[in-house]
Protein backbone atom coordinates (compact mmCIF):
# COMPACT_ATOMS: atom_id res chain seq x y z
CA UNK A 1 0.00 0.00 0.00
CA UNK A 2 1.38 3.38 -1.03
CA UNK A 3 -0.68 6.37 0.13
CA UNK A 4 0.59 9.90 -0.51
CA UNK A 5 -0.72 13.06 1.10
CA UNK A 6 -0.39 16.24 -0.95
CA UNK A 7 -1.11 19.84 -0.07
CA UNK A 8 0.19 23.34 0.38
CA UNK A 9 2.27 24.53 3.32
CA UNK A 10 0.14 24.31 6.47
CA UNK A 11 -2.64 22.18 4.99
CA UNK A 12 -2.30 19.40 7.58
CA UNK A 13 -0.32 16.72 5.72
CA UNK A 14 1.73 15.60 8.71
CA UNK A 15 -1.30 15.34 10.99
CA UNK A 16 -3.21 13.22 8.47
CA UNK A 17 -0.19 11.01 7.78
CA UNK A 18 0.21 10.30 11.49
CA UNK A 19 -3.50 9.57 11.99
CA UNK A 20 -3.66 7.20 9.01
CA UNK A 21 -0.43 5.48 9.97
CA UNK A 22 -1.87 4.74 13.39
CA UNK A 23 -5.14 3.54 11.85
CA UNK A 24 -3.36 1.13 9.47
CA UNK A 25 -0.45 0.14 11.71
CA UNK A 26 2.06 1.70 9.34
CA UNK A 27 5.03 3.98 9.85
CA UNK A 28 4.42 7.51 8.57
CA UNK A 29 7.14 8.85 6.30
CA UNK A 30 7.10 12.53 7.13
CA UNK A 31 8.59 15.50 5.34
CA UNK A 32 12.05 16.30 6.64
CA UNK A 33 11.72 19.87 7.87
CA UNK A 34 15.38 19.86 8.98
CA UNK A 35 16.49 20.98 5.52
CA UNK A 36 19.84 22.69 6.19
CA UNK A 37 18.95 25.38 3.64
CA UNK A 38 15.50 26.24 5.01
CA UNK A 39 16.34 29.37 7.00
CA UNK A 40 18.59 30.66 4.22
CA UNK A 41 15.86 29.99 1.65
CA UNK A 42 13.22 32.01 3.48
CA UNK A 43 15.74 34.84 3.93
CA UNK A 44 16.90 34.87 0.29
CA UNK A 45 14.83 32.62 -1.97
CA UNK A 46 16.65 33.52 -5.16
CA UNK A 47 20.06 32.57 -3.81
CA UNK A 48 19.06 29.29 -2.16
CA UNK A 49 16.12 27.99 -4.23
CA UNK A 50 18.08 25.33 -6.13
CA UNK A 51 19.89 24.00 -3.06
CA UNK A 52 16.67 23.97 -1.05
CA UNK A 53 14.69 22.08 -3.70
CA UNK A 54 17.40 19.53 -4.51
CA UNK A 55 17.80 18.65 -0.84
CA UNK A 56 14.07 17.97 -0.47
CA UNK A 57 13.97 16.00 -3.71
CA UNK A 58 16.88 13.76 -2.68
CA UNK A 59 15.30 13.09 0.73
CA UNK A 60 11.95 12.13 -0.77
CA UNK A 61 13.44 9.87 -3.43
CA UNK A 62 15.54 8.04 -0.82
CA UNK A 63 12.59 7.78 1.57
CA UNK A 64 10.20 6.35 -1.01
CA UNK A 65 12.72 3.93 -2.54
CA UNK A 66 13.72 2.53 0.86
CA UNK A 67 10.12 2.12 2.01
CA UNK A 68 8.87 0.53 -1.19
CA UNK A 69 11.82 -1.85 -1.41
CA UNK A 70 11.17 -3.01 2.14
CA UNK A 71 7.72 -4.15 1.04
CA UNK A 72 6.03 -2.28 3.86
CA UNK A 73 3.09 0.08 3.68
CA UNK A 74 4.06 3.65 2.83
CA UNK A 75 2.08 6.66 4.00
CA UNK A 76 4.03 9.64 2.73
CA UNK A 77 3.76 13.29 3.67
CA UNK A 78 4.27 15.16 0.35
CA UNK A 79 5.59 13.63 -2.86
CA UNK A 80 8.46 14.25 -5.24
CA UNK A 81 5.88 15.22 -7.85
CA UNK A 82 4.83 18.24 -5.81
CA UNK A 83 8.45 19.31 -5.45
CA UNK A 84 8.82 19.36 -9.24
CA UNK A 85 5.43 20.36 -10.65
CA UNK A 86 4.53 22.91 -7.99
CA UNK A 87 7.44 24.26 -5.97
CA UNK A 88 10.21 24.18 -8.58
CA UNK A 89 7.94 25.46 -11.37
CA UNK A 90 6.72 28.24 -9.11
CA UNK A 91 10.28 29.31 -8.25
CA UNK A 92 11.16 29.35 -11.95
CA UNK A 93 8.11 31.47 -12.83
CA UNK A 94 8.83 33.90 -9.99
CA UNK A 95 12.39 34.37 -11.28
CA UNK A 96 13.83 32.82 -8.12
CA UNK A 97 15.37 29.82 -9.90
CA UNK A 98 17.30 30.16 -13.14
CA UNK A 99 16.26 28.15 -16.19
CA UNK A 100 19.65 26.39 -16.05
CA UNK A 101 19.10 25.31 -12.43
CA UNK A 102 15.50 24.33 -13.22
CA UNK A 103 16.57 22.11 -16.13
CA UNK A 104 19.18 20.42 -13.92
CA UNK A 105 16.60 19.92 -11.21
CA UNK A 106 14.05 18.41 -13.60
CA UNK A 107 16.68 16.03 -15.00
CA UNK A 108 17.26 14.73 -11.48
CA UNK A 109 13.50 14.49 -10.91
CA UNK A 110 13.06 12.51 -14.14
CA UNK A 111 15.31 9.76 -12.77
CA UNK A 112 12.72 9.10 -10.07
CA UNK A 113 10.20 7.81 -12.65
CA UNK A 114 12.22 4.60 -12.89
CA UNK A 115 12.62 4.28 -9.13
CA UNK A 116 9.27 5.14 -7.56
CA UNK A 117 5.86 3.87 -8.60
CA UNK A 118 2.76 6.05 -8.51
CA UNK A 119 0.83 6.07 -5.22
CA UNK A 120 -2.22 3.82 -4.98
CA UNK A 121 -4.08 6.88 -3.70
CA UNK A 122 -3.14 10.55 -3.51
CA UNK A 123 -5.06 12.47 -0.83
CA UNK A 124 -5.08 16.18 -1.71
CA UNK A 125 -5.68 18.55 1.21
CA UNK A 126 -7.20 21.61 -0.47
CA UNK A 127 -7.29 24.79 1.62
CA UNK A 128 -7.79 28.51 1.12
CA UNK A 129 -4.95 30.92 1.85
CA UNK A 130 -6.61 32.26 5.06
CA UNK A 131 -6.95 28.68 6.33
CA UNK A 132 -3.32 27.94 5.51
CA UNK A 133 -2.17 31.09 7.29
CA UNK A 134 -4.26 30.21 10.34
CA UNK A 135 -2.75 26.73 10.55
CA UNK A 136 0.80 27.95 9.86
CA UNK A 137 0.53 30.42 12.74
CA UNK A 138 -0.96 27.77 15.01
CA UNK A 139 1.92 25.33 14.56
CA UNK A 140 4.43 28.11 15.17
CA UNK A 141 7.47 27.23 13.07
CA UNK A 142 9.52 30.41 13.29
CA UNK A 143 10.83 30.34 9.71
CA UNK A 144 7.27 30.10 8.34
CA UNK A 145 5.70 33.00 10.20
CA UNK A 146 6.43 35.59 7.52
CA UNK A 147 5.51 33.54 4.45
CA UNK A 148 3.95 35.84 1.89
CA UNK A 149 0.26 35.19 1.25
CA UNK A 150 0.76 35.79 -2.48
CA UNK A 151 3.35 33.00 -2.45
CA UNK A 152 0.81 30.64 -0.84
CA UNK A 153 -1.82 31.70 -3.38
CA UNK A 154 0.54 30.94 -6.27
CA UNK A 155 1.22 27.50 -4.80
CA UNK A 156 -2.53 26.89 -4.42
CA UNK A 157 -3.02 27.70 -8.12
CA UNK A 158 -0.22 25.28 -9.01
CA UNK A 159 -1.72 22.54 -6.81
CA UNK A 160 -5.17 22.90 -8.31
CA UNK A 161 -3.80 22.82 -11.86
CA UNK A 162 -1.66 19.78 -11.07
CA UNK A 163 -4.57 17.84 -9.57
CA UNK A 164 -7.03 18.81 -12.32
CA UNK A 165 -4.81 18.68 -15.40
CA UNK A 166 -1.51 16.87 -14.82
CA UNK A 167 -1.68 14.13 -12.20
CA UNK A 168 -3.05 10.89 -13.66
CA UNK A 169 -3.45 8.68 -10.59
CA UNK A 170 -6.30 8.05 -8.15
CA UNK A 171 -7.10 11.18 -6.12
CA UNK A 172 -9.26 11.91 -3.06
CA UNK A 173 -9.78 15.60 -2.26
CA UNK A 174 -10.43 16.84 1.28
CA UNK A 175 -11.56 20.47 1.52
CA UNK A 176 -9.85 21.58 4.72
CA UNK A 177 -11.95 24.75 4.92
CA UNK A 178 -15.04 22.58 5.35
CA UNK A 179 -13.79 19.51 7.20
CA UNK A 180 -11.60 19.09 10.25
CA UNK A 181 -10.30 15.53 10.17
CA UNK A 182 -8.59 15.99 13.54
CA UNK A 183 -11.87 16.71 15.32
CA UNK A 184 -14.25 14.64 13.19
CA UNK A 185 -13.44 10.90 13.22
CA UNK A 186 -16.05 10.26 10.52
CA UNK A 187 -13.78 11.93 7.99
CA UNK A 188 -10.98 9.52 8.87
CA UNK A 189 -13.44 6.64 8.62
CA UNK A 190 -14.37 7.79 5.10
CA UNK A 191 -10.74 8.15 4.05
CA UNK A 192 -9.90 4.73 5.53
CA UNK A 193 -12.81 3.13 3.67
CA UNK A 194 -11.53 4.59 0.38
CA UNK A 195 -8.03 3.28 1.08
CA UNK A 196 -9.35 -0.22 1.85
CA UNK A 197 -11.41 -0.12 -1.33
CA UNK A 198 -8.35 0.67 -3.42
CA UNK A 199 -5.87 -1.45 -1.43
CA UNK A 200 -7.76 -4.50 -0.12
CA UNK A 201 -5.83 -6.54 2.44
Options 34, 40, 73, 77, the catalytic residue: 77
Spell out the long-range contacts of 90-94 with Cβ–Cβ below 8 A and sequence spacing 24 or more: 90/154, 90/155, 90/158, 91/45, 91/49, 91/53, 93/154, 94/45, 94/154
Burial 133-164 (b: 16+ CB within 10 A, else e): bebbeeeeeeebeebeeeebebbbebbeebee
At residue 180, the 3 state secondary structure works out as coil
Looking at the DSSP bridge assignments, the partners of residue 74 are: 2
77 included as an active-site residue:
yes
* Catalytic positions, written as ranges: 77
Amino acid sequence: MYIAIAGNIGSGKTSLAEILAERFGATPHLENVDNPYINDFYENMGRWAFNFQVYFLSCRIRQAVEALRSGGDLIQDRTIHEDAHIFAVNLLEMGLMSSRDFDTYMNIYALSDDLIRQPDLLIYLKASVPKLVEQIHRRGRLYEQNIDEEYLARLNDKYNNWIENIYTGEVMVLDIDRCDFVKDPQIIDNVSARIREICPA
